[in-house]
Structure 1
Amino acid sequence: MSCRKLPVFLLAAVVIFICGWFSTRMASAGEGTFNDIQGHWAERVILEMNAYDIVHGYPGGEFRPNNKVTMLEAVVMILNTLGWGEEAGQADLSGLQFHPSVTWGREYLALAVEKGMLTRAGLPQIDSQRLASRVEVAALVCLALGLTPDASQVTFFDTGDIPEKYRGYVGAVVKQGIIQGMPGNMFMPGEPVTRAQLCAILSRLIDRKLIPPPPPMELVVGRITSMDMIKGTVLLRNLEGEKTVLLPADITILTASGTTGPEFLKTGDRLKCIVDVRNNVRYAVLMEDASIANSVEGLVVSFSRDGSDYKLTLETNDGDYLTCPVEDDARLFRAGSEINTCRPVENDYVQAGLDVNGRVVRIDIYPPERISGTVVEVGGASLTLRRQGEEEEYAVSPRVQVTRNYVRGMNFSELRRGDRVEAVVMKRTIFQVNLLSDVLTGQSGMVSRVHSKAIYLYVGDEEKRYELDEQVEVIRDGRLIDVRDLRRGDYVNFEVDGRGYVITIEVLDEDEGEFEGTVKYLDIYPTPWLTIALPGGLEMEYEVSGKVDVLRDGDRINLSDIIPGSQVAVRVEDGKVTEIEVLDDQNLTVQCLVSGVNPERRRITLEINDRYFTYFLAPGAAILDRNGKPVSLEDLEGYRVEVRLKDGEVDRLTIL
Structure 2
Amino acid sequence: MIKKYITAGISAAFAVSVIMTPLSAGAAVTPGKTYNDTTGHWALQVVEKASAIGLMSGYPGGYFKPEGQMSRLEAISVIIRAMGLEDQALQTKAQGSGITMPPGMTWGEGYLVLAAQKGLLSKEYVPSLKYRDAITRAEVATLVAVALNIKGDPAKLTYSDNNSILELYKPYVAAVTEKNIMTGLGGNQFGPNQVMKRGQMAALMAKLAQDGWFKFGADRLIGGTVVSFDAATGLLVFKKADGTVLQKTLSEKPALFKNSSAATLEDIKYGTPIVVALKGSEAIQYLEVSSAAPPATSPVFDTTVTGRVTSTPGAAGTSITIADGKNSGKNYTLAPNLVVKDSTDTSSLSAVTAGKYITAQINSSQVSYIQILPTVSNQGTVQTISSGSLKISTGSGSYTYTLKSGETIVSGAAPKTGDTVKVISYQGKALEIIINSSAARVEGVITELDTDSSPGITLEDEDGGEKTFDITDDTAMTRDGDDIDLEDIMIGAEARIRYIAKEAIEIEITEDENITVEGEVVKVDESNERITIEQDSGNQFRLDVDRNCSYRNSANSTSVSDLGDIRKGWTVEITLDDSEATRIKVVDDDGNSDDEVEGTVTNLKLGSSTKITVKVNGSTKTYKITDDTDITKDGDDIDEDEIMIGAEVRIELDDDEATEIEVTNDTDDITVEGTIYSIDENNDRITIKQSNGAKFRLDVDRKCSFKDTVDTKNKLDELDDLETGWEVKLTLEDGEITTLKVTDK
TM-score range, shorter chain: 0.3 to 0.5
Q: Which has the higher contact order (CA 8 A, sep 6+)?
A: 2
TM-score, normalised on structure 2? 0.34
Instruction: From the CA coordinates, give the structure whose radius of gyration is larger.
Output: 1
Q: TM-score, normalised by structure 1?
A: 0.38
